[in-house]
Amino acid sequence: MLTIKNVQTLKGFTETITIESDEFRTIDGKGSLLLIPALIDPHVHFRTPGAEHKEDWCSGAVAAIRGGITRVFDMPNNTPACVTPENLQNKINLIDEQLKKAGIPLRYNLYYGADQENLDSLGKVAKNVIGLKIYMGSSTGGLVMNDPETLEKAFRLAGHENVLVAVHAEDEEMLEANKKKHRGNTDPSVHSIIREEKAALKATMQAIDLAEKYGTQLVICHTSTKEELDAIRAAKKRELLVYCEVCTHHLFLNTEDYGRLGSFGTVNPPLRNKIHCDALWEGIRDGTVDFLGTDHAPHTREEKSKSYPETPSGFPGIETMLPLLLNAYHEKKISLEKIVSLTHINIEQIFGLERNQDFVLIDLEMKKEVKATELKTKSRWSPYDGVVLKGWPLYTILKGKVYSCF
């Protein structure tokens, strides 16, 4: 039995909590540490199979635990892509093997990739995946589905099989036109112009229309603009099952950060100006935003150091999400209760996950600098390198076992 005594709860009480465990251990919260449900990250890229030099499930699991996270949803844009039942099973086998090697029984769910040639296989895997991921615009991995007829089929099949659809909502035609217009421009900040706000809105509106037509549950992944939020609000008012995911980098970074990040600042969808960041925070306050994720998408320093547009898009973020949110709590941008809702409760409810006794023990007063060299992700860099944050996880409790976050 695991005993955590003198620990603060969200209700404001100091309590002693017991957790079923093979370990006989007592941790003293000393009346100052806070216990909350462990986080769920619904959007990660652990790069297995095909790009394990960027990340694998050994390094990814350690990084997740360091961030207070005990469950992740991994995306399908692997090599080979997770678009057939065979590839899905091979991926599961690799993951289980790597987690066993790491000695961390990380909870995970997998997205199935939407692919024109293999859409009919969705029924075979429907009960084994968390959802169907559709890339309406190009990103890492090459999975793009922008043909209207194929999109219709994907939403129709998903609705029939009762499989949730998650979309990367950027209009590919607009992206390609903008790339041609800005060809030769090597300033990384042009990335936010090429992948303009209108491209995100157009794809989001198209996805919402299809979800309404076929009664499909829909997640708009990494929502990044005010206009997308407005469209999602309108869909919710029509009582459509449309959910809004926001990623932490769109809350804490903006286009001004290109000045210090350079090519390291590229991500899809791109960094937006502060007006959109403010709108996302308002979306959190009014309940339009359903949950947060990291879109943890690691690349090596060497890869990110390439000149634009050769540099790949994506940030590592799984170890910094909770400290960033706790620091925002101290800045009075968000409540602790809202953090728990956005990183655990809402995700559990929307995706129908079983409850568990995973927790994270937090020191709200700890101040610590983000140091890229101390990160456990293979990429060993962070867009928040050098930033001092207040509020850090100390211990993560997964399946009754205690893991140190340092």
Contacts of 390 (CB under 8 A, 6+ apart): 326, 327, 330, 364, 365, 366, 367
Type of residue found at 98: Q
Residues marked active site are found at: 295
11: how many CB neighbours lie within 10 A of its CB? 7
CA 247 to chain centre: 6
Distance CA 261, CA 257 (A): 6
Distance CA 171, CA 195 (A): 9
Contacts of 56 (CB under 8 A, 6+ apart): 46, 47, 48, 98, 378
Q: How far is CA 146 from CA 58, 67, 270, in A?
A: 34, 35, 19
SS3 168: strand
What's the length of the chain? 406
- Element of type H or E holding 19: strand 14-19
Nearest to 311 by CA among 381, 375, 361, 239: 381
Burial 163-192 (b: 16+ CB within 10 A, else e): bbbbbbbbbbebbeebeeeeeeeeebbbbb
Q: For the chain, state the CA radius of gyration.
A: 20
Enter the tokens of residue 215: 């009664």
Distance CA 346, CA 353 (A): 10
Distance CA 358, CA 352 (A): 16
- Check the CA dihedral 198-203-208-209 and report its sign: positive
